[in-house]
A and B are shown apart, each in its own frame.
Chain A
Amino acid sequence: DGGITQSPKYLFRKEGQNVTLSCEQNLNHDAMYWYRQDPGQGLRLIYYSQIVNDFQKGDIAEGYSVSREKKESFPLTVTSAQKNPTAFYLCASSVRLSNTEAFFGQGTRLTVV
């Protein structure tokens, strides 16, 4: 069953701790993305990757880090430097970076207390 999987669905962390969100796809897509969504807001791009071992900062990369060591995986680390980490995080993938539809995971709702 092909798709894109994010885990966990809900995540609670204490302030000052780093946390890593998982994103795995078995669609054989080259491009992957991380977006942040705040209540009632749109999707803001955090990081994106065109191909394995390559990634670029999006519009709001500060306080976040990523890696792309495997084509299937694009984990996002929310560091303690991120001022307001509580949000809904969405991972997506597409065949290539532009001109192709994006498939989204179910999202991870991160709450930092």
Chain B
Amino acid sequence: GQQVMQIPQYQHVQEGEDFTTYCNSSTTLSNIQWYKQRPGGHPVFLIQLVKSGEVKKQKRLTFQFGEAKKNSSLHITATQTTDVGTYFCAGPSGSARQLTFGSGTQLTVLP
């Protein structure tokens, strides 16, 4: 079945540094979603990308969907302590296109 892999698993950055997490799928995705989970919390939807090569921005966050629709990235510019958490990508998988999550990237921002 489809697998959605994320790298890196962990990332520690100094406040003000940039951060990027990458998501790769073994199959073409019709769309990809990104979620953020704060420590002790639940995942919260950030964005959905649908088109090949699509780029979307939310303030300091930039999301990209690859041309082949098999990979995606999330880039955070000038990280802040409020960015701490685990970032997950997710895409439809299987015969019913159920939502399957990547393994996540846990971001720590050092003040």
**A45→B42 contact, CB < 8 A:** no
Contact code string B6-34 (vs A, CB < 8 Å = 1, else 0) = 10000000000000000000000011010
Q: Does B98 have its Cβ within 8 Å of any Cβ on chain A?
A: yes
- Interface residues in A20-71 (C-beta closer than 8 Å to B): 33, 35, 40-45, 48, 50, 56, 58-59
- Contacting A at CB under 8 A, from B16-73, are 30-31, 33, 35, 41-45, 48, 50
Q: Given A35-B101, A99-B30, answer yes or no on A48-B43 (Cβ-Cβ < 8 Å).
A: no
Q: Does A84 contact B (CB under 8 A)?
A: no
Interchain CB contact (< 8 A) of B42 among A44, A101, A105: A105
Number of A interface residues in the complex (CB < 8 A): 26
A1 CA / B3 CA spacing, docked (Å): 36
Within 8 A of B (CB), among A53-108: 56, 58-59, 90, 92, 94, 97-99, 101-107
Q: How far is the CB of B50 from chain A (nearest CB, A)?
A: 8
Closest to A100 in B: B48
Chain B residues within CB distance 8 Å of chain A: 1, 6, 30-31, 33, 35, 41-45, 48, 50, 88, 90, 92, 96-104, 106
8 A-B pairs within 8 Å (CB atoms) are namely A33-B98, A40-B106, A42-B103, A43-B101, A45-B101, A90-B43, A99-B92, A102-B45
Starting from the known contacts A33-B98, A42-B101, A99-B97, 4 additional A-B residue pairs (CB-CB under 8 Å) come to A33-B99, A42-B103, A90-B43, A103-B45
